[in-house]
Amino acid sequence: MKCPFCGSTESRVIDSRDTEAGDAVRRRRECECGRRFTTYERIDEMPLLVVKRDGHEEVFSRRKLLNGLLRACEKREIPLERLEALVARMETQLRTAGVQRVASAEIGERALRLLRSLDKVAYVRFASVYRQFEDVEEFQDELRRLEAHVPVLDGQEPIAALGEMQGAEALAAAAPAAARTRR
Ligand SMILES: [Zn+2]
């Protein structure tokens, strides 16, 4: 901890106690230059926990979600900033909802809702991972549902991903990712 007067990092704690509210530790420090200053230690932001299908929990990772989206958006020319914004938006939604634990499936569904307005192919690829389509038929059903209903979220312009692409072409464009996820 740098001394605010001389910049030295050589200080010693001369007093340490909880604040009145009990939400922090207040430390009085004395620098080698002889002057004194105060520091506070507080709990960092509460971690957001993701509950996986098998029940085990892990800390929500922006990086991990972003990687999943990047895979789904491969060759779709969606700016990285759009995806980063999507991830940040989702984290904010969860945090402002006061959620501390969230199912991984719920994260998948939320990501899908946001992705749907961005790029149909990426949406279907991502859905194929999260919903674990059993077969091509189920996959095509999802595409049909998608074509029937394309909402625009929060006034955002959807990127005209498929343009006039028909179902079969869309399927062909999205299928490789889906095929990779099938084991
Ligand atoms: Zn000093």
d(CA 157, CA 118): 8
The pair phi, psi for residue 41, each rounded to 5°, is -115, 125
Distance 21 CA to ligand 1 centre (A): 29
Distance 2 CA to ligand 1 centre (A): 8
d(CA 70, CA 78): 9
Burial status of residue 80 (CB atoms within 10 A of its CB: 0-12, 13-18, 19 or more): exposed
In this predicted structure, what is the pLDDT of residue 121?
A: 85
Distance 71 CA to ligand 1 centre (A): 51
* pTM of the model as a whole: 0.53
Distance 24 CA to ligand 1 centre (A): 24
Instruction: Kindly state whether residues 83 and 30 are assigned to the same domain.
Output: no
Instruction: Kindly state whether residues 38 and 56 are assigned to the same domain.
Output: no
More confident residue, 82 or 183: 82
Count, residues in the chain: 183
Instruction: Kindly state whether residues 169 and 113 are assigned to the same domain.
Output: yes
Instruction: Kindly state whether residues 15 and 65 are assigned to the same domain.
Output: no
Instruction: Kindly state whether residues 102 and 18 are assigned to the same domain.
Output: no
What would the mean pLDDT of 32-59 be, rounded to a whole number?
88
Instruction: Kindly state whether residues 101 and 76 are assigned to the same domain.
Output: yes
> What residue type is assigned to position 93 of the chain?
Q
Residue 23's CB is within 10 A of a number of other CB atoms, namely 10
What residues contact residue 76 under an 8 Å CB cut-off, 6+ apart? 119, 121, 122, 161
Q: Are 51 and 38 in contact (CB under 8 A)?
A: no
Percent of the residues in the chain that have a pLDDT greater than 90, as a whole number? 21
More confident residue, 44 or 125: 125
Distance 33 CA to ligand 1 centre (A): 4
Instruction: Kindly state whether residues 62 and 105 are assigned to the same domain.
Output: yes
Domain membership of residue 6 (yes or no) is no
Distance 1 CA to ligand 1 centre (A): 10
Tokens of 25: 């530790």
Domain membership of residue 4 (yes or no) is no
- What is the per-residue pLDDT across 98-124, written as a single tens digit (0 to 9) for each? 788 998 888 888 888 888 888 888 888
Distance 19 CA to ligand 1 centre (A): 24
Distance 39 CA to ligand 1 centre (A): 14
Lowest average pLDDT, out of 11-20, 21-30, 168-177, goes to 168-177
Residues with CB under 5 A from ligand 1 (ion): 3, 5-6, 8, 31, 33
Strand ranges across the sheet with 57-59: 57-59, 49-51, 101-103
**142 half-sphere exposure, CB direction, 13 A CA radius:** 27
Domain membership of residue 2 (yes or no) is no
pLDDT over 50 (residue 130): yes
Distance 143 CA to ligand 1 centre (A): 66
State the residue range of the domain holding 100. 49-152+162-181
Instruction: Kindly state whether residues 26 and 88 are assigned to the same domain.
Output: no
Q: Are 8 and 2 in contact (CB under 8 A)?
A: yes
- The C-alpha angle 40, 1, 27, rounded to 5 degrees, equals 30
Domain membership of residue 173 (yes or no) is yes
d(CA 109, CA 130): 8
